[in-house]
């Protein structure tokens, strides 16, 4: 058999030692990408731990260094959507901002590995998926090994869900990062747009206008959030005890949950109801109340007048998208 793409003989002519070395190099790259993504997840858990510590200074004052690492690991798994258990109480949360940060770190690691390998596109995607599966196994092992114990109760992440969410998010981010190494994101989007335009000009204009509407809605929702924060500072509605610790914790939590809040604001602007509150599962029973808020029923009361300004979000974004579709249309009649 002739030489392969890397200048070496293929699997039949290659010696066993060379073949094992090639397999080791490939698996080593996969494990390196998964390990780097795992470190990014631990960093996300550390940021969450800092935010919680700033909000509750007396919490965990007697933690050992190993307990701190354990808390980082547990909170990192929680950032993926893994439920946490404290005794008989189960809690789950999904901070989309933190998850996005983990995803960007994972995609970067998979991208660097794919660039280093310079293999074929299907092989790069397979390695990205393999890195995601390895990341899921790391999450599974972390959930089994790391748990906090306090007064007979243990705080830990569910191992089954850690494996499921770790593999699901890991494969998605790993494949995305590996694909970007062969086809940059902008070029990929332009290529998809050109292909759609060749098939259907109407569909192309509709997708473009809809994307513009979504982007404008997100920007206007962030602007509304900033206006609300500035108004709260201007009227002095913050408590007297609000200090730099509370400000720093608020900033970290805002970044962690910013996409969640933006989606909530957009939903409210469209007239949809949003349930706000907290529920925990204790011994198989769900406890806690969720209050429903909308522009038509604000938890049993009428919404304040300024909340109706949120209607400007769909009006402006849809108007902008419609104008863009009209401007780009070949037949304006």
- Secondary structure (H, E, C), the chain: CCECCCCCECCCCCCHHHHHHHHHHHHHHHHHHHHHHHHHHHHHHHHHHHHHHHHCCCCCCCCCHHHHHHHHHHHHHHCCCCCEEECCEEECCCCHHHHHHHHHHHHHHHHHHHHHHCCCHHHHHHHHHHHHHHHHHHHHHHHHHCCEEECCEEEEECHHHHHHHHHHHHHHHHHHHHHHHHCCHHHHHHHHHHHHHHHCHHHHHHHHHHHHHHHHHHHHHHHHHHHHHHHHHHHCCCCCCCCHHHHHHHHHHHHHHHHHHHHHHHHHHCCCCEEEECCEEECCEEECCEEEECCCCECCECCCHHHHHHHHHHHHHHHHHHHHHHHHCCCCC
* Average pLDDT for 253-261: 91
* Average pLDDT for 5-13: 45
So what's the pLDDT on residue 142?
94
So what's the pLDDT on residue 101?
93
Does residue 175 belong to any structural domain of this protein? yes
Structure-model confidence comparison of residues 29 and 98, the more confident one = 98
pLDDT interval class at 2 (50, 70, 90):
very low
* Average pLDDT for 225-237: 81
So what's the pLDDT on residue 10?
44
Is 159 in the same domain as 214?
no
**Residue 242 backbone dihedrals phi, psi, to 5 degrees:** -70, 115
Q: Dig out the tokens for 115 from the structure.
A: 């660039």
Is 20 in the same domain as 138?
yes
Is 136 in the same domain as 204?
no
Whether the pLDDT of residue 155 is over 60: the answer is yes
Is 108 in the same domain as 61?
yes
* Average pLDDT for 181-185: 75
* Average pLDDT for 228-241: 76
Q: What is the pTM of this model?
A: 0.78
Instruction: Tell me how far apart the alpha carbons of residues 326 and 282 are, in angstroms, rounded to a whole number.
Output: 55
Whether the pLDDT of residue 161 is over 80: the answer is yes
Is 142 in the same domain as 217?
no
So what's the pLDDT on residue 327?
81
So what's the pLDDT on residue 237?
67
So what's the pLDDT on residue 274?
84
Mean pLDDT of the chain: 82
Does residue 10 belong to any structural domain of this protein? no
Does residue 287 belong to any structural domain of this protein? yes
Instruction: Tell me how far apart the alpha carbons of residues 107 and 132 are, in angstroms, rounded to a whole number.
Output: 10
Whether the pLDDT of residue 27 is over 90: the answer is no
So what's the pLDDT on residue 219?
95
* Average pLDDT for 254-267: 92
Whether the pLDDT of residue 211 is over 80: the answer is yes
Is 211 in the same domain as 148?
no
Does residue 8 belong to any structural domain of this protein? no
So what's the pLDDT on residue 153?
64
Is 22 in the same domain as 121?
yes
So what's the pLDDT on residue 196?
79
* Average pLDDT for 97-119: 87
Is 27 in the same domain as 135?
yes
So what's the pLDDT on residue 12?
45
* Average pLDDT for 102-124: 83
Is 224 in the same domain as 322?
yes
So what's the pLDDT on residue 5?
45
So what's the pLDDT on residue 267?
92
Instruction: Tell me how far apart the alpha carbons of residues 180 and 178 are, in angstroms, rounded to a whole number.
Output: 5
Show which of 145, 164, 183 is a domain's final residue: 183
Is 197 in the same domain as 324?
yes
So what's the pLDDT on residue 14?
54
Does residue 188 belong to any structural domain of this protein? no
So what's the pLDDT on residue 218?
94
So what's the pLDDT on residue 20?
43
So what's the pLDDT on residue 92?
83
Is 222 in the same domain as 155?
no
Is 131 in the same domain as 234?
no
Q: Which domain holds residue 266?
A: 193-328
Q: What is the largest CA-CA distance in the chain?
A: 79
| Rounded-to-10 torsion of CA 23, 29, 35, 36 | 180
Instruction: Tell me how far apart the alpha carbons of residues 164 and 132 are, in angstroms, rounded to a whole number.
Output: 11
Does residue 1 belong to any structural domain of this protein? no
């Amino acid at each position: 058999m002739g030489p392969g793409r890397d200048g070496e003989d293929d699997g039949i002519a290659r010696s066993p030692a060379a073949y094992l070395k090639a397999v080791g190099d490939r698996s080593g790259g996969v494990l390196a990408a998964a390990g780097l993504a795992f470190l990014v997840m631990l960093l996300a858990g550390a940021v969450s731990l800092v935010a919680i510590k700033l909000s509750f200074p007396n919490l965990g004052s007697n933690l050992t260094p190993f307990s701190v690492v354990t808390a980082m690991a547990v909170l990192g798994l929680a950032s993926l959507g893994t439920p946490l258990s404290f005794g008989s109480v189960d809690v789950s949360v999904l901070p989309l901002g933190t998850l996005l940060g983990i995803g960007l770190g994972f995609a970067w690691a998979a991208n660097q590995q794919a660039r280093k390998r310079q293999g074929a596109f299907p092989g790069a995607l397979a390695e990205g998926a393999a890195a995601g599966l390895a990341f899921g196994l790391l999450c599974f092992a972390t959930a089994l090994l790391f748990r906090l114990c306090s007064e007979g109760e243990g705080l830990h992440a569910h191992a089954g869900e850690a494996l499921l969410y770790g593999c699901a998010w890991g494969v998605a981010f790993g494949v995305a990062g590996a694909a970007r190494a062969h086809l940059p994101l902008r070029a990929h989007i332009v290529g998809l747009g050109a292909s759609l335009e060749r098939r259907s000009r109407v569909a192309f204009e509709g997708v473009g206008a809809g994307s513009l509407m979504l982007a404008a809605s997100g920007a206007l929702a962030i602007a509304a959030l900033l206006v609300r924060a500035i108004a709260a500072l201007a009227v002095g509605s913050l408590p007297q005890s609000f200090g730099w610790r509370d400000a720093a914790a608020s900033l970290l939590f805002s970044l962690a949950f910013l996409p969640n809040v933006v989606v909530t604001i957009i939903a409210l602007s469209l007239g949809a109801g949003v349930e706000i509150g907290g529920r925990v599962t204790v011994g198989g029973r769900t406890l806690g109340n969720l209050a429903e808020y909308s522009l038509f029923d604000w938890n049993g009361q009428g919404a304040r007048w300024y909340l109706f300004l949120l209607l400007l979000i769909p009006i402006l974004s849809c108007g902008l998208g419609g104008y863009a579709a009209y401007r780009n249309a070949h037949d304006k009649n």
